[in-house]
Every structure is written in structure tokens, then in C-alpha cells.
């Protein structure tokens, strides 16, 4: 059995950010660290998007950015500037190449391609069984979500943000490459919360994504039919080719992910509840949480300090309660919000940076009856 100080399970955004954070810190130079993933991360398997003000730490990896967003509902649509915010996109392959390149330069960090078959946590540490053998560590960081544990509990609703996207190239100019379509609810909702999401790279190239907030994913044929319909009716594009396909499902829940932690096993990324429950955005929150995690480890502080059920957690919970009970409520809620409030205030709220008065401004812009009912149900 090979022994390490730390083992990181999963080489996604959370795992690689954490490994790079360890490598940068002189305090961890004498720690032996292993990163395990069953994939070599040599393909562009995903894209991450986020907003921030001005320049940021990932600018060298940003594939495309936008300073305007388009929102459309049933009775309202708007194209608005978002400065001082900028909406940015990072491709998975660019992120993997950069971070794997950095990590290979740290002499105390090893990367292993293997499949984790079992994890056993005890007072002595954590033992992992893999298809290549057994590994032991003092502490493990796991980024693999435990869906069974999350879904089996009944205290918190669990929805999925599931999607299928096409990287398309059109024969004629179709897109405004200065503006990203943040949410287009003008498509048929069919009893769900459904919208189109468009990231244009030029006037003929874009990622067009059919996105749902609902309990269960759809068949691939349903996603593809919706994408074909949107390309024809909304984008007026008859001639186009599809170069890549992106699909996935992100859990949306306020479930207490810290309940799966032990003294020596800590969950990170989506597995640690670092996804914004009401939107599915994960990338920047993972970056902030990773930095906070390393600070706590350096100071030997309890890692439970990363889990705070603040008022923004409760706002997310109320929205998920509403959508879980009536999945069609998403369109009127988001349409009312974007109609009455600026995207800058909405982004600030979603980042958890608004004050109480601004919170009330956001809440008052949403249909009140649904939120009052959800609030009373949670209280009583």
C-alpha cells in the first residue's frame, strides 16, 4: 500500500485548483500529494462560465467574453450592458492543459490515472482501493458527488440542471458575438423550466444549449428536437453544421453536503455543495472555496467553517421548493426578475454580495405569492 499525506479524488476544476493551491504554498512543500482520476483530461469535455468585475485570475484562459446579455421571456425581452461585470467562458481543455502543466512541475505532487473502487475512512486516515491497487492517506479530498445519499434524503428538494449543447457553425451571419443569450424562455415550457443559452464566438459560430431546471433529464432526441427548432425558428438559420456536442447534469439542491464528511475525508466541488443551488454556476465559487480551504488547512482550523447556511442559502432553498412543487414556475419568476431589476443587481445578489435592502429589492421583483407560500411551508 502506497501512503501519502493528501489524496485528491478527481481532476476536475475543484481537484486541480486544490492541487495547484497546495503546490504554490511553501507550507505544503513537504507534503506528499496524489491526484487520482480515471480520465487523462485530454478532451474538451465541458465549458465553464462566470461573471466578474474587470480583470481576473483566469483571464489568460478565457476563450471568449461578453459585456452584454440578452434575456427573453414570454412577454419581455431585453439586451442590456452588464459592466462593470464581464461574462467570461473558459474551455475545459484549456483549463486542463494549464493546470496539469503547472502540477507536473511540483515535485511533491503525483498524478495517477486510475478508477477509485472504494473509499474507507477511519481514525487512522483514508484508504482507497483502485483498479491499480490500494492507497492510504492522512486526509482525502473527494470531488465525486454521492448522488444516492443526496437523492435518498427528503428534507431538501433535489432538481437537476440538465442540458445538451451544440457547437454550431452557420453558413450565414447569425449571431451577435458581443452579446450572450443568458436565458431565452420564449421557447415552449411544456410544464417545466426550460430555456436556451447561447454563447456566440463569432457571427457564424456559437454554443447553443437547451437547458432545463427539472427533476429528471430528457431523452437525447428531445434535446436535439428542441435545438433544431430553435435554430430554425428563433435564429433563422437553415444551414449549419455541428462540430461538437456538450451535455451534462448539475445537481441543484440545498442538501447539507457536509454530512458526508468525516474527520479525514472532505468533499469538494459539486460533491461538497460548492454549486450555486439556484443557478448551477460552480466555477468561481469553487475557486473561492478552494482558497478558503487552503487558508483553513494552513491555520489548522476546522474545515466545517466552509459550510455556512446564510440568508442566500435560504433564498435558494425557497426557489427550489417552488420549482420542485411546480416546475413551470421558473419562467415567470425569472422573467419578472429580469424585467424589474438590472442584471448588475441580479449578479451581485447571486454572488451573495447584496445588503438586506438590496435583497428586498430582488425579492420584491419576483412573484410574491409563491415565495410567501414556500416561506410559510418551511416555517410551519
DSSP annotation string for 170-215: ESS----TTEEEEEE--S--TTSEEEEEEEESSSSEEEEEEEEEES
DSSP E strands: which ranges in the chain? Answer: 2-9, 33-37, 47-53, 62-66, 68-72, 77-81, 85-91, 109-113, 116-122, 125-130, 133-142, 158-170, 179-184, 193-200, 205-214, 240-253, 265-267
Grid-cell match 483498479, residue found: 131
In this prediction, residue 219 carries a pLDDT of 95
Domain ranges of the chain: 2-46+90-149+254-306, 158-251, 311-379
Distance separating alpha carbons of residues 326 and 320, to the nearest angstrom = 10
Residue 120 pairs with which residues in a beta bridge? 127
Q: Residue 224, exposed/middle/buried by CB under 10 A (0-12, 13-18, 19+)?
A: middle
pLDDT computed for residue 240 by the predictor: 97
Q: Note the pLDDT of residue 305.
A: 81
Ranges of residues in the chain with a pLDDT under 70 are: 1
pTM score, two decimals? 0.95
CATH superfamily of 2-46+90-149+254-306: FAD/NAD(P)-binding domain (3.50.50.60)
Question: What architecture does CATH give domain 158-251?
Answer: 2-Layer Sandwich (3.30)
Q: Are 316 and 275 in contact (CB under 8 A)?
A: no
Taking residue 74's Cβ as centre, other Cβ atoms within 10 Å add up to 12
Which pLDDT score is estimated for 304?
A: 85
pLDDT of residue 215: 93
Q: Is 114 exposed, middle or buried (0-12, 13-18, 19+ CB in 10 A)?
A: middle
Q: How far apart are CA 24 and CA 317, in angstroms?
A: 36
What does the pLDDT read at residue 149? 86
What is the per-residue pLDDT for 187? Answer: 97
The DSSP call for residue 349 is H
Amino acid at each position: 500500500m502506497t501512503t501519502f499525506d493528501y489524496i485528491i479524488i478527481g481532476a476536475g476544476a475543484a481537484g486541480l485548483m486544490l492541487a495547484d493551491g497546495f503546490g504554490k504554498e511553501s507550507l505544503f512543500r513537504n507534503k506528499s500529494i496524489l491526484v487520482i482520476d480515471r480520465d487523462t483530461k485530454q478532451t474538451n469535455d465541458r465549458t465553464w462560465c462566470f461573471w466578474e468585475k474587470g480583470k481576473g485570475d483566469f483571464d489568460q484562459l478565457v476563450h471568449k467574453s461578453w459585456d452584454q446579455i440578452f434575456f427573453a421571456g414570454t412577454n419581455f425581452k431585453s439586451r442590456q450592458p452588464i459592466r462593470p461585470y464581464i461574462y467570461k467562458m473558459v474551455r475545459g481543455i484549456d483549463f486542463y492543459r494549464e493546470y496539469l502543466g503547472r502540477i507536473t512541475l511540483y515535485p511533491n505532487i503525483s498524478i495517477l490515472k486510475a478508477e477509485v473502487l472504494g473509499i474507507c475512512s477511519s481514525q487512522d486516515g483514508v484508504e482507497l482501493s483502485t483498479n491499480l491497487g490500494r492507497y492510504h492517506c492522512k486526509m482525502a479530498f473527494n470531488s465525486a458527488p454521492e448522488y444516492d445519499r443526496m437523492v435518498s434524503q427528503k428534507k431538501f428538494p433535489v432538481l437537476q440542471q440538465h442540458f445538451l449543447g451544440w457547437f454550431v457553425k452557420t453558413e450565414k451571419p447569425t449571431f451577435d458575438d458581443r452579446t450572450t443569450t443568458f436565458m431565452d424562455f420564449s421557447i415552449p415550457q411544456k410544464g417545466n423550466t426550460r430555456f436556451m443559452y447561447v454563447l456566440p464566438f463569432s457571427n457564424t459560430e456559437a454554443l447553443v444549449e437547451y437547458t432545463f431546471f427539472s427533476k429528471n433529464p430528457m431523452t437525447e432526441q428531445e434535446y436535439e428536437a428542441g435545438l433544431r427548432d430553435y435554430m430554425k425558428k428563433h435564429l433563422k438559420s437553415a444551414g449549419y453544421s455541428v462540430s461538437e456536442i456538450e451535455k451534462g447534469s448539475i445537481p441543484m439542491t440545498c442538501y447539507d453536503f457536509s454530512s458526508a464528511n468525516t474527520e479525514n475525508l472532505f468533499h469538494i466541488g459539486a460533491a461538497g455543495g460548492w454549486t450555486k443551488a439556484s443557478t448551477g454556476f460552480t466555477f468561481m465559487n469553487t475557486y473561492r472555496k478552494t482558497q478558503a480551504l487552503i487558508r483553513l488547512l494552513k491555520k489548522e482550523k476546522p474545515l466545517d467553517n466552509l459550510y455556512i447556511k446564510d440568508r442566500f442559502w435560504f433564498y435558494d432553498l425557497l426557489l427550489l421548493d417552488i420549482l420542485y412543487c411546480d416546475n413551470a414556475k421558473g419562467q415567470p419568476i425569472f422573467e419578472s426578475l429580469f424585467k424589474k431589476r438590472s442584471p448588475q443587481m441580479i449578479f451581485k445578489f447571486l454572488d451573495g454580495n447584496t445588503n438586506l435592502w438590496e435583497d428586498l429589492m430582488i425579492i420584491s421583483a419576483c412573484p410574491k405569492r409563491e415565495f410567501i407560500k414556500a416561506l410559510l411551508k418551511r416555517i410551519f
